[in-house]
């Protein structure tokens, strides 16, 4: 919680600037999944598939924080014995990341507010959270010149997509 509030403060003060550098996307995803393994509910599994190059030009810190949030949400909002699936692909410096869970899904009426500060879906119930995570992830993705989108069906799960285009050539 403290990390999220500190991240929010830095974002809103304009003190968060991305520092793109070479990073191994596949290794980062595997490291985050391994780090979050203790949070898995009984029977939850992690399935990961990567296609293409592994080295990308993104901010490793912002990317890791974004993945931690999206993976932990998938774990939190999915029931026992359900898989969390992650796909990454890199082609011609275009990076795409897809995180899919088989969880409770986001009610349609709540979806338009999902990336708002302090917003929590009406079906989140007693599941811990601040309502800041997805707001921060969206800001981080945008700082890295990327886009985030999702599709969700209540009772069936949610899929988040992150897409990053190659950096523009210097003029």
Kindly report, residue by residue over 111-164, the tens digit of the pLDDT: 998 887 766 777 676 777 666 789 889 999 999 999 999 999 998 999 999 999
The pLDDT value given to residue 120: 74
- Computed on alpha carbons and rounded to an integer, the radius of gyration of the chain in Å comes to 16
- List, for residues 61-118, the tens digit of each pLDDT value: 999 999 999 999 999 999 999 999 999 999 998 999 999 999 999 989 889 988 877 6
Task: Say whether 97 sits in a helix, a strand or coil.
Answer: strand
User: Secondary structure of the chain: what % helix, strand, coil (to 5)?
Assistant: 35, 30, 35
pLDDT of amino acid 8: 62
Return d(Cα 41, Cα 154) in angstroms, integer. 20
The DSSP element (H or E) to which 89 belongs, if any, is strand 83-91
> C-alpha distances in angstroms, 61 versus 6, 28, 66, 103, 137?
14, 10, 9, 27, 12
26 neighbors 54 (Cβ within 8 angstroms) = yes
Q: Are the CB atoms for 11 and 139 separated by under 8 Å?
A: yes
Tokens coding 109: 């009426």
When pLDDT is averaged across residues 38-47 and rounded to a whole number, the result is 96
């Amino acid at each position: 919680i403290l990390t999220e509030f500190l991240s929010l403060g830095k974002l809103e003060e304009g003190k968060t600037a991305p520092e793109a550098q070479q990073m191994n996307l596949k290794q980062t995803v595997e490291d985050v999944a391994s780090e979050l393994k203790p949070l898995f509910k009984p029977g939850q599994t992690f399935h990961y598939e990567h296609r293409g190059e592994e080295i990308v030009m993104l901010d490793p810190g912002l990317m890791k924080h974004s993945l931690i949030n999206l993976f932990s949400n998938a774990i939190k909002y999915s029931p026992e014995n359900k898989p969390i699936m992650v796909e990454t692909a890199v082609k011609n410096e275009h990076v795409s990341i897809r995180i899919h869970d088989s969880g409770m899904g986001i009610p349609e009426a709540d979806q338009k507010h999902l990336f708002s500060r302090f917003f929590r879906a009406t079906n989140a119930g007693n599941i811990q959270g601040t309502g800041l995570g997805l707001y921060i992830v969206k800001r981080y993705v945008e700082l890295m010149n990327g886009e985030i989108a999702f599709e969700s069906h209540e009772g069936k799960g949610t899929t988040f997509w992150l897409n990053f285009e190659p950096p523009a050539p210097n003029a």
